[in-house]
Amino acid sequence: MTKRVLNVPGIAYGGDYNPEQWPEEVWAEDVRLMGEAGVTMVSVGIFSWALLEPAEGVYDFSRMDKILDLLHAGGIAADLATPTAAPPAWFFRKHPEALPVDKDGRRLSYGSRQTFCPSSPAYREAALRIAGALGERYADHPAVVMWHVHNEYGCHNAECYCDESAAAFRRWLRTRYADDLAALNHAWGTTFWSQWYYDWDEIIPPRATGAVPNPTHQLDWRRFCSDELLSLYEAERDVLRKAAPSLPATTNFMVMYNFDALDYWRWAPELDVVSNDHYLRSTDPESEIDIALSGDLMRSLAGGPWLLMEHSTGAVNWQPVNRAKNAGELRRNALAHVARGADGIAYFQWRAAKAGAEQWHSAMLPHAGTDSQIWRDVVQLGADLKALAEVRGSTGAAEVAIVWDWDARWALELPSQPSEMVRHLDLVRSWYEPLWRSGVAVDFVRPDADLSSYRLVLAPSLYLVDDASTANLTAFAERGGTLAVGFHSGMVDENCHVRLGGYPGAFREALGVRTDELFPLLPGEKVGLGGDATATLWSERVHLEGAEAVASYTDGPLAGVPAVTRNSHGTGTTWYVSTRPDPDTLAALLDRMRAEAGVRPVRVTPEGVEAVLRRGENADYLFLINHGDRDAEVEVTADATDLLAGKPVEGGTVTVRAGHVVVAREPRG
């Protein structure tokens, strides 16, 4: 599929723009201040359904006409949204059955946003109608450069358990199992607990039941829920594409720590431009790592540059306590996103709301107005992004890949596991962190991805894996690569069936080990790994079947049992890490793997200075972000240019001031 391209120059800059919240006299000031800040594109109409369609099939485009004209006159491009994330009250009064039902059978009410059933025919019809009307009216408006389809699919309504959803689930299952009910019964293991289905109509969503529901039933449900929303996206996109064949379409993903409802590997190919919403968690003392990880995952999903569609200039309003950003953090955050491949930076929202549910969410133009630190930072960032225009289109290049898979994440985090403390993202981040600290570039890959460009492939947490992906990963090692696998990986196949004969099932042979029993560790429990090294969370009775022990358990019931192993497999090497080592120990292990695999960091920097490389056609762009409180010196090529300062670097060394960022253009060849 050819992707349509976003026609905005350089690094796009802007935010969600909700002028409906303000009297018209404010709009002109908005456009003037956008100019002052260097804003180039804003997203409009995200929550405008109630105003655009005051009654079914009756449209009022007058306000939107004015807004788009004003923006265009001010030289600001518009990313025009379909407002389908928040249907109006009149819609729900007419279609109460389109309100979602939770696991407990409780039907929710309207009154906030995103409270509709994804499988509702009435909703789908209404959504495509308003999308069609917008497409028709604004396809040729000169301000409009992209369609912003919906908003944050699945943010509040990823799952609906109503009867219409049940019917849609059955249709999806019939497709998945090719109308073969016996195949479903086999896949779900319904001989257990008397769950055998004799009729498709017997199947319902995994609603609240007395005991633990069937795991494969739950896993298929999660797959269905992701696909169901995807089909809504595709339907809206197709309506818009018909009206405006050359305009690109996007929808904003939520690749951040706590959101896991959608399988973005399946979504990304359907978008012309891949974009993301990312917010910091106030309780994360190193949220720069979350930005980097999310950014690497976004770049991997997009297969190149992407857009940051929402983040915040300061505190958000939906966490228990909402931390403001520290001095320079707004700028560091934004440029870190660019470093990881963002070709546009946008915020929720342009002007801080005075009313409504998000009145305490920060914005580009705060309640305090332009005499504020945030506004000054916003203006500064506009200038920075302008200086980085040439970075657009450049992308990353990594020798290390981390395997990431939503199926595996969902399956792992189902109930009735050996330990509910084992969480996919925690494990991935624990392996990602030492790489980040060392300045090593990382891609994320699907388990069935082409791995030929990597030296080191890590699977920190791959509980579920099918046979083809198993073969793909082990073949990578066989052909000379280094593959490292974390505990509780390879355990089940695509139907959540345990792979028999010993753990870690799928990878046993390639790793040269065999575990006969799992020993999860209790909260607070710790085991020694020799010297000062310790581990938590998990342990297992590993037997060597070809591998060598790199570290062993030194106390507890498994004293003397191998904990970390290394094996030769084909012409390559495989590692198994059967526990969660303390950070220093894990870092040392990854250092050794890297060293052996010949993986080098992007640049060696003083502690606290993040180094990221974007590769352009003729030059590399080296991003140096100083998270520490001391100025740092970093070597660059002799002909490098400091883009933000707008001048050549003297003497092959740049000073990255504490809390600041340097972007050095290093010409290639």
Our CB check for a second copy shows the closer of 136 and 358 to be 358
Nearest distance in Å: CB 244, a second copy: 23
For residue 298, is it left (φ>0), alpha (ψ between -120 and 50) or beta?
A: alpha
Nearest distance in Å: CB 410, a second copy: 15
Rounded distance between C-alpha atoms, residue 423 and residue 413, angstroms: 7
Residue 425: which of 284, 268, 576, 317 has the closest Cα? 284
Are β-strands 533-536 and 641-642 bridged in parallel, bridged antiparallel, or unpaired?
unpaired
Nearest distance in Å: CB 201, a second copy: 7
Nearest distance in Å: CB 592, a second copy: 29
Nearest distance in Å: CB 643, a second copy: 28
**β-bridge partners, 464:** 492
Catalytic residue among 310, 433, 540, 610: 310
- The beta strand positions in 217-303, using DSSP E, are 249-250, 252-253, 275-277
DSSP summary character for residue 250: E
Our CB check for a second copy shows the closer of 32 and 266 to be 32
Residue 594: which of 497, 476, 487, 454 has the closest Cα? 454
Residue 310 annotated as catalytic: yes
What's the 3-state SS for 149-166? CCCCCCCCCCCCCCHHHH
Our CB check for a second copy shows the closer of 4 and 124 to be 124
Using the structure block, give the residue that is written with the tokens 């190193």: 286
Rounded distance between C-alpha atoms, residue 247 and residue 244, angstroms: 6
Rounded distance between C-alpha atoms, residue 291 and residue 312, angstroms: 12
Residue 509: which of 568, 553, 450 has the closest Cα? 568
Nearest distance in Å: CB 173, a second copy: 14
Using the structure block, give the residue that is written with the tokens 């739950």: 218
The letter for the amino acid at 173 is: L
CB contact at 8 A, 226 and 135: no
DSSP summary character for residue 80: E
**β-bridge partners, 55:** 58
Torsion sign over Cα 314, 151, 67, 306: positive
CA angle 493, 499, 502 (to 5 degrees): 150
Structure tokens, 46: 């995200």
Our CB check for a second copy shows the closer of 198 and 246 to be 198
Using the structure block, give the residue that is written with the tokens 């505990």: 487
Nearest distance in Å: CB 509, a second copy: 14
Residue 53 annotated as catalytic: no
CB contact at 8 A, 641 and 657: no
Our CB check for a second copy shows the closer of 51 and 549 to be 51
The letter for the amino acid at 184 is: L
Nearest distance in Å: CB 309, a second copy: 17
Catalytic residue among 53, 152, 236, 329: 152
Rounded distance between C-alpha atoms, residue 404 and residue 426, angstroms: 12
The letter for the amino acid at 301 is: L
Indicate the Cα dihedral angle 30, 32, 37, 38, nearest 10°: 110
CB contact at 8 A, 345 and 385: yes
Determine the straight-line distance between the first and last CA of the chain, rounded to whole angstroms: 33
Residues in CB range of 629: below 8 A, 6 or more apart? 658, 659
DSSP 3-state of 625: strand
User: Could you list the active site residues?
Assistant: 152, 310
